[in-house]
Amino acid sequence: MTQIFAHRGLHQRVPENTVTSFLEAKAVGVQGVELDVRRTSDGALVVHHDEAVEGVGLIATAKCRDLPSHVASLAEALGACEGLIVNVEIKNSPTEQGYDSSGSLASQVVAAIGELGQVDDVIISCFDLATCQAVRQFDAAIRVGWLLEFARDTREAIATVHALGLDAVHPFFLRVDEVSMAMAHELGIAVNTWTVNEPRDIAAMIELGVDTIITDEPVVALEVLANGRT
């Protein structure tokens, strides 16, 4: 059955990617949440989507102590998500300052998840394929999904993921069709779509049999899933 993940938590009333947003998502009954992890200049793993924090500047050049209190550590975020599956997106883009090409960020994220005993509850994703490969190198058991840019061909990406021994593709939902779904599932590759918000689109993804819908409207998605309503 298709699972519903709250994109950056339930953030209609509270800031996204915060402990509160994850607790609220859990309360409405989602199967999982998606969150974003970055690294500060002093090596802390923190949960934030954008590369900069208002009033502070770039996370990559800031110290953890300088960040506002609502910016959670990865450990705090995972603690709030206990009982859920967590899609940890590693923010590591070659176009951003602080890009890590060495694999150390991937290694640190994998180690942190392992130390918390949550390997079985996590899938790690990244737009940067090299980062996905680094995660797989450091841990053969943790689930890894290649997060696809809008224009990326889903079928070619499925073939790449299969060849590299990764577990999933994370395409934009408009890039998924019956052929790509059949190919993915024949190869044992999960398809986790982003960011699906309209009821008709949610219903279409459920009909195609995607494994996960990542959405800003998790309450709506849960209703569609339960009722088959468009």
Q: What is the DSSP string of 25-80?
A: HHHHT-SEEEEEEEE-TTS-EEE-SSSEETTTEEGGGS-GGGS-TTS-BHHHHHHH
The pTM for the full model equals: 0.97
What are the contacts of 198-207 at 24+ separation with CB within 8 A?
199/224, 199/229, 199/230, 200/230, 201/173, 203/228, 203/229, 203/230, 204/173, 205/2, 205/173, 205/176, 206/2
Per-residue model confidence (pLDDT) at position 228: 76
Per-residue model confidence (pLDDT) at position 230: 46
The distance from CA 204 to its chain's CA centroid, rounded to whole angstroms, is: 21
Question: Structural domains in the chain?
Answer: 3-33+84-227 (3.20.20.190)
Residue-by-residue pLDDT tens, the chain, 230 positions: 999 999 999 999 899 999 999 999 999 999 999 999 999 999 999 999 999 999 999 999 999 999 999 999 999 999 999 999 999 999 999 999 999 999 999 999 999 999 999 999 999 999 999 999 999 999 999 999 999 999 999 999 999 999 999 999 999 999 999 999 999 999 999 999 999 999 999 999 999 999 999 999 999 999 999 997 54
Per-residue model confidence (pLDDT) at position 229: 53
Give the H/E segment covering residue 164: helix 154-164
